[in-house]
Amino acid sequence: MKWFRRIWVGERLIPLCLTGALSFLIQASPAHAYIGPGAGLGAVAVTIAVVLGGLFLIVGLVWFPLKRMLRGKKVAAEAGKETDAAQ
């Protein structure tokens, strides 16, 4: 079971992925096809939208709940100080 953990932790996984990607790119042959300016810009726009969508997804799922949790602790600490001062 240690070998499984070692592979997925990254000792061999990243070099293996890089080797696979490099061999895939080396074997690629030209398509001899034409992409017009509209289709090219559309492909670039879709790529940018997917990347930004992924980033916004990460921000929405991680940052905002974390911010809400930290704000809740701050409000609770301030509420605790107000009750101590009133006594």
DSSP three-state, residue 77: helix
Residue 83 host element (H or E): helix 64-86
Specify the pLDDT at position 18: 80
Half-sphere exposure (CA, 13 Å, Cβ side) for 70?
6
Specify the pLDDT at position 2: 59
Tokens 């398509």, residue located: 31
Using CA atoms, how far residue 87 sits from 74, 78, 80, 81, in Å, is 20, 15, 11, 10
Could you report the per-residue pLDDT of 3-13, keeping only the tens digit for each? 555 555 556 66
Residue 40 host element (H or E): helix 37-58
Regarding pTM above 0.75, the answer is no
Could you report the per-residue pLDDT of 19-76, keeping only the tens digit for each? 888 888 788 787 788 889 999 999 999 999 999 999 999 888 888 888 888 887 777 7
